[in-house]
Structure 1
């Protein structure tokens, strides 16, 4: 995370000072987004005195749900253009005490948890409020008047169905939203199940945020990734250390959480997730009863996947070998960036090439080699941005 100069009073000034210091390259597109963020900083500062005029004023505003929210910002564009960096700078300068920054999936998991807890209270007779959304929104607004979401995306139908109602409540209570995304609002939840029920949220979002594009011609993430070891062998403490370094660089300080993906009445655990990156051991993916649909969903949810401790494979690990072949196919076809530590180079992983697995593993070897290259990242980065 970039340090903020002591004398900087705006995101634009921060960018300018870091450019002058040589820690950033001058980027007109980033500066334009910085100016939008500075408008929000100004508006938030202007709102503070009015909010403090009367101790009772906020109480009545809460009852009426009529406090005017500062208009937020929705920044979309391809990966690696600096959206996360700009969000970092803005969030740290935002002149409000109650603010929250989270990956969108993490936030929605929290929302669903609160809704479930409210329904349990209703079931136990602890509340008479049948609709959980207003009290959940009130609690969220009490905790934060500024919500910042990195990598805003909607892939889950449960999220899609609740967003319009939830944010109608949040915006009415004066909550300001700033978000980054790989897609413009019109393409959120594209081709999703019952998308017509989601469309009111898009209209609501566009009324409460400015929408702008960060279309810098330079992919700064690509520049970073080209210097990282993406396939480390043999397995050792040094390999673990290099994987940890790459993970820290990719996640860029985001909070790491354990989560899960719901799959038709069951769940696929994600032991380590941060933003659009996920990290697993080989055993967590390939020694478990997971199939193609599970791997496809992982590939859809995450742009970057880390796999630690890929062992030598052979007849004694036939099931694991089959799953590994399917896993690599899913990640490759979805243009996911792979980081891996393994017992051997790809061509040495399979100790005995017999039967169908031996034939199919030749494709896996080829794909593992391609996924290690900078060309794979450059060619497939745009494909991920369109997902």
Structure 2
């Protein structure tokens, strides 16, 4: 069987990928984990199970190919029990599983939940590890300690160095042991590439489609296929005990309808959490705004402000050009700033 490096080079030779020195430099870490997991586990009364290999914490800028490399690795695992999942989605599953376990009267819900996870996989591949919720921050250390003790190997991508996780978070001192655990049980590898491939794919492409019709829908679908690379799954964000759901999410790209984001009673905290969780947001069907849907318009303004400040790439279909979206009713003057931001966010260099 070909190695991951050989497979990567074959993809560059047929034009599927562009050879990137930073990506090539990361491949040995994947191969180290792969080769260690392929070693047979010796069983017997006096034979101690081999120490599992250290995992890998890949971090670096947006669009450098971290998720793509991890996907190649998982596809190349030769039947090793593994799961590739977005970190936010995994933590939501953990919270739900702990809730169910507590119903049986168990006080320490983390141990049985971690045991169930460890029984099903030898490797967990997380995309986009970041901690913004205090409930995640307070359990993740014990959870991962239990997974590591059970021999589970973890590979994760992140846009932040481990030292930057949960930065300025509430009770962060209690979170610091988890950072130490990452450094102990995982190799921290920075993917240093000057090229933002996601930005390059969008460079010069249309990202604002109007009017809302079948052509706009097809164009949005095409952008999704190019950036996300496959069907999305719902992403549920926890914000102050509430659920904020994005209907489709994959490879840091989220897609939702206007009503999903602005037709519900969401506020600044929800949009800030959303902006932290995604790198590209696709919004379908932004309608004409006026006094008849004033509340939705106010939420839209707040959403765009959050996306703008976080440098999230925005792709959308809308009923009219930005300057013509809100032409009558209270708030038209204030909306001029939003229209200006919508224009700026269409620039090919936006988010760099």
| TM-score category, normalised to shorter length | over 0.9
Match of 1:50 in 2: 41
- Spell out, residue by residue over 1:95-123, the C-alpha distance to the aligned partner (whole angstroms, 9 max, x if none): 4431111011111111111111110122x
Query: Unaligned stretches of 5+ in structure 2?
Result: none
- Residue 19 (structure 2) aligned to one of 20, 26, 29: 26
Match of 1:210 in 2: 187
Change over 3 Å in CA distance of 1:163–1:67 after alignment to 2: farther
Change over 3 Å in CA distance of 1:240–1:148 after alignment to 2: same
> Deviation of residue 57 (structure 1)?
8.4
Residue 92 of structure 1 pairs with residue 68 of structure 2: no
- Residue 211 (structure 2) aligned to one of 228, 234, 244: 234
Change over 3 Å in CA distance of 1:73–1:231 after alignment to 2: same
Match of 2:9 in 1: 16
- Separation in 1, partners of 2:276, 2:283: 16
Residue 174 of structure 1 pairs with residue 151 of structure 2: yes
Secondary structure in 2 aligned to 1:285?
helix
> Deviation of residue 330 (structure 1)?
1.7
Change over 3 Å in CA distance of 1:67–1:116 after alignment to 2: farther
Match of 1:101 in 2: 84
- Residue 59 (structure 2) aligned to one of 76, 79, 93: 76
- Separation in 1, partners of 2:130, 2:150: 23
Match of 1:3 in 2: none
User: Whose Rg is larger?
Assistant: 1
Runs of 4+ that moved beyond 4 A: none
- Residue 157 (structure 1) aligned to one of 104, 120, 134: 134
Query: Unaligned stretches of 5+ in structure 1?
Result: 1-6, 123-128, 382-387
1:44–1:95 contact (8 Å) kept in structure 2 = no
- Spell out, residue by residue over 1:196-241, the C-alpha distance to the aligned partner (whole angstroms, 9 max, x if none): 1111111111111111111011111111122543111111111111
- Separation in 1, partners of 2:37, 2:243: 41
> Deviation of residue 359 (structure 1)?
0.8
- Separation in 2, partners of 1:296, 1:171: 32
- Separation in 2, partners of 1:361, 1:315: 13
Residue 189 of structure 1 pairs with residue 198 of structure 2: no
Match of 1:221 in 2: 198
- Separation in 2, partners of 1:142, 1:100: 12
2:236–2:244 contact (8 Å) kept in structure 1 = yes
- Separation in 2, partners of 1:344, 1:173: 55
Residue 138 of structure 1 pairs with residue 115 of structure 2: yes
1:258–1:272 contact (8 Å) kept in structure 2 = yes
Query: Could you tell me the TM-score, scaled by structure 1's length?
Result: 0.85
Mapping 1:297-336, distance limit 5 Å: 297-336=273-312
- Separation in 2, partners of 1:211, 1:275: 21
Secondary structure in 1 aligned to 2:284?
strand
Secondary structure in 1 aligned to 2:104?
helix
- Separation in 2, partners of 1:275, 1:113: 23
Residue 268 of structure 1 pairs with residue 259 of structure 2: no
Query: Could you tell me the TM-score, scaled by structure 2's length?
Result: 0.93
Match of 2:316 in 1: 340
Match of 1:384 in 2: none
Match of 1:358 in 2: 332
> For the aligned residues, what is the CA RMSD?
2.0
2:239–2:270 contact (8 Å) kept in structure 1 = yes
- Figure out how many residues of one structure are paired with residues of the other and give that number: 352
> Deviation of residue 373 (structure 1)?
1.1
**Which has the larger helix fraction?**
1
Match of 2:233 in 1: 257
Change over 3 Å in CA distance of 1:57–1:191 after alignment to 2: farther
Secondary structure in 2 aligned to 1:148?
strand
